[in-house]
Amino acid sequence: MRIDEDLGRVTEQDRRAVVAAYAEEPERDDAVSFIVECWQTLDSERPIVPFGMGGSYRGAIPWGAVRDWAQDAGLHGDEVRLLAQVIRRLDADRSERISNDLATKG
């Protein structure tokens, strides 16, 4: 199943992991849905970060992209900062998972 030029093909193991994650996912309220929408929408804004010998990964969502998205959604001041903090936390968790995956594969 082709999902994105940058991501290539989804493995059966990845597909099963996504299905399992959705099965365990708690019900979302409007705030959580809003945050997830932001994080998923801005995924394409991630810079390509080189590492190692010719490798790369997609880095954290830039602050400016979060700010612009939040302002377009009608958020201001502390609301924008709170959204940015949550997105940074999600990105930190994502980065940790990537690092752990690379360590176990390396």
Q: Which residues, 6 or more positions from 3, have their beta carbon under 8 angstroms from its beta carbon?
A: 9, 10
Pairwise CA distance, residues 94 & 68, whole Å: 22
Q: What is the pLDDT of residues 54-101, one digit of tens each?
A: 878 788 999 999 999 999 999 999 999 999 999 999 999 988 887 788
Pairwise CA distance, residues 27 & 83, whole Å: 20
**Entry pTM:** 0.68
Q: What is the pLDDT of residues 16-38, one digit of tens each?
A: 877 777 777 677 788 888 999 99
One-letter amino acid at 16 equals R
pLDDT, position 10 = 61
